[in-house]
Amino acid sequence: MVRKIAALLLLIASLGVVLVESNNATAQHTVTTTTEEPSEDVVEEMPIISCTGVAEVYNVCGPACGDRTCDNQGRSDVPCTKQCVEGCYCRSGYVRNKAGTCILPYRCGRSA
């Protein structure tokens, strides 16, 4: 099983696909892209993304429509395209309030 995973990672790296390294303890992520040219490999370091909220998680392919909010949490007609958007999103079961903080839905409308 370990050999299969290692082989798959080598294949992904050789194709120049974006690799994501994660450090769950700090919720910081480094994204590295590699492009192959005839004479050399170029490695480009992307900025580290750090989710600051305790109820936020980093997602390399999150929904384009963003998080549910206090204003739209009960609606089923929120439009959303199928493209991936990288960034920090509320954990499952949380919504984003007007201040931009991820909170439990029952706290919507209450002062912080």
Give 53-70 pLDDT, tens digit per residue. Answer: 999 999 999 999 899 999
- Mean pLDDT (whole number) for 38-46: 63
Question: Among 3.40.50.300, 2.10.25.10, 3.40.50.2300, 3.40.50.720, what is the CATH number of 49-104?
Answer: 2.10.25.10
Distance, in Å, from the CA atom of 31 to the CA atom of 60, rounded to the nearest integer, reads: 9
Cα→Cα distances 88→14, 20, 28, 57, Å: 28, 14, 11, 5
- Look at 18 and 51; give whichever has higher pLDDT: 51
- Mean pLDDT (whole number) for 1-12: 48
Distance, in Å, from the CA atom of 24 to the CA atom of 11, rounded to the nearest integer, reads: 25
- Look at 84 and 82; give whichever has higher pLDDT: 84
For the chain, the domains span 49-104
- Mean pLDDT (whole number) for 94-99: 95
**What is residue 108's predicted lDDT score, i.e. its pLDDT?**
94
Cα→Cα distances 5→16, 24, 30, 45, 92, Å: 17, 20, 20, 24, 28
